[in-house]
Every structure is written in C-alpha cells, then in structure tokens.
C-alpha cells in the first residue's frame, strides 16, 4: 500500500514540473511577442522624431551661419567671458564650471573684462562646496561675484549674468 502511494505521487511531481515549464515558456513567448509588437508600433515614431530633431538642428545651424546676433556684441554692451573652470577649495576633488557675461554701462572695456575674469577665477578657488550648496548658497555666490565685479570695474559694469554653473 505504501508503494502504491509513492508511485502515484511521482507522476504528479513530474506533471507539476512539466506544467510549470510549459507555463514559463508560454509567458516568455507572450512577452517576446508583445515586446516585438510594441517595438514595431513605437519604432517608426522614434525614427520620425529623430528626423524632425535633425531637421531642426540643421535649420538652427544654418541660421547661426547666416549671422544671428550673439549675446556679446558691442551694440548691446555685453561681453561674455571665457568659461571659468577650477577646482573648489574644499573638497578639492570637486570642480566648478562657470560661464558669465558682463553688461557694461557704456562701451565694453576688454581690459576690465579680463581683470574681472581673473578675479572671479581667483575667488572661485577659495569657495568650498558647503558655501554654495542650495539656492541660498548660489545666491550668496552671485552676490559675492557681483560685489567683486563692482569693485574691480569701478561701476562700469552694471550686471553680471550667469550663463552656466556646473559643479562636478
């Protein structure tokens, strides 16, 4: 009687394993088929979006070649400084990249702009990451740089415009 129960239980185990394998195989096939179907539906839309983006880039490049006005011109009294890249005082493994433009009250002075560029670079090297964290820290940084620019330019620069600010 015990032998009959044991032999009856073994085929059930094999059929349970077989059903599990069949179920996994069916679900895998359904998943693969669904992925293929979604890919064929979505892929043409992605291709169209890429083509539209490439066309837009080509148009922007063409306009730039035609001579769109840049931000820094003598006509609008704006001088864009070269990008400033430096490591911070602490932690020294963190780097900052800063692009700044200066709005002059009168005609731009290149010598003053170069002096301001060097002054900002020297200042950035003394700043720690904790001093410029968050929106309040960034505002303090902007205020400090504006104050330095006011002192260096003796009132000839009315505004410092931050173009980019990246900490790495």
Tens-digit pLDDT profile for residues 145-157: 999 999 999 989 9
Return the percentage of the chain with pLDDT > 90, whole number: 46
111-127 mean pLDDT: 93
Beta bridge partners of residue 84, listed in sequence order: 98
Grade residue 74 by pLDDT with cuts at 50, 70 and 90: low
Alpha-carbon distances, residue 45 vs 15, 52, 56, 88 (angstroms): 45, 11, 16, 45
Q: What six digits make up the tokens of 84?
A: 């400033």
The pLDDT score that the predictor gives to residue 13 is: 62
Q: In a 3-state reduction of DSSP, which class is residue 153?
A: helix
- pLDDT of 55 strictly over 50: yes
DSSP state of 131: G
138-142 mean pLDDT: 93
Nearest alpha carbon to residue 112 among 161, 73, 79, 82: 79
The pLDDT score that the predictor gives to residue 92 is: 85
Q: Report yes or no: 141 and 126 within 8 Å, Cβ to Cβ.
A: no
For domain 78-167, the CATH class is: alpha beta
Give the separation between CA 92 and CA 128, rounded to whole angstroms: 8
Identify which has the larger pLDDT, 8 or 147. 147
What are the phi and psi torsion angles at 35 (to 5°)? -60, -40
The pLDDT score that the predictor gives to residue 67 is: 46
- pLDDT of 59 strictly over 80: no
Q: Break the chain into its structural domains and give their ranges.
A: 1-68, 78-167
User: Angle at the Cα of 146 (from 93 to 114), degrees rounded to 5?
Assistant: 75
- pLDDT of 5 strictly over 80: no
């Amino acid at each position: 009687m015990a032998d009959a129960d044991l032999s009856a239980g073994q085929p059930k185990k094999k059929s349970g394993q077989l059903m599990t394998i069949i179920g996994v195989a069916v679900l895998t096939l359904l998943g693969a088929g669904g992925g293929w179907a979604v890919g064929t539906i979505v892929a043409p839309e992605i291709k169209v979006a890429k083509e539209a983006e490439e066309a837009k880039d080509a148009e922007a490049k063409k306009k730039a070649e035609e001579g769109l006005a840049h931000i820094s011109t003598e006509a609008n009294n704006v001088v864009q400084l070269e990008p400033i890249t430096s490591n911070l005082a602490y932690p020294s493994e963190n780097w900052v990249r800063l692009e700044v433009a200066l709005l002059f009250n009168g005609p731009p002075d290149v010598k003053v702009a170069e002096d301001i560029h060097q002054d900002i670079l020297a200042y950035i090297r003394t700043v720690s990451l904790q001093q410029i964290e968050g929106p309040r820290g960034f505002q303090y940084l902007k205020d400090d740089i504006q104050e330095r620019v006011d002192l260096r330019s003796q009132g000839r620069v009315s505004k410092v415009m931050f173009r980019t600010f990246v900490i790495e």
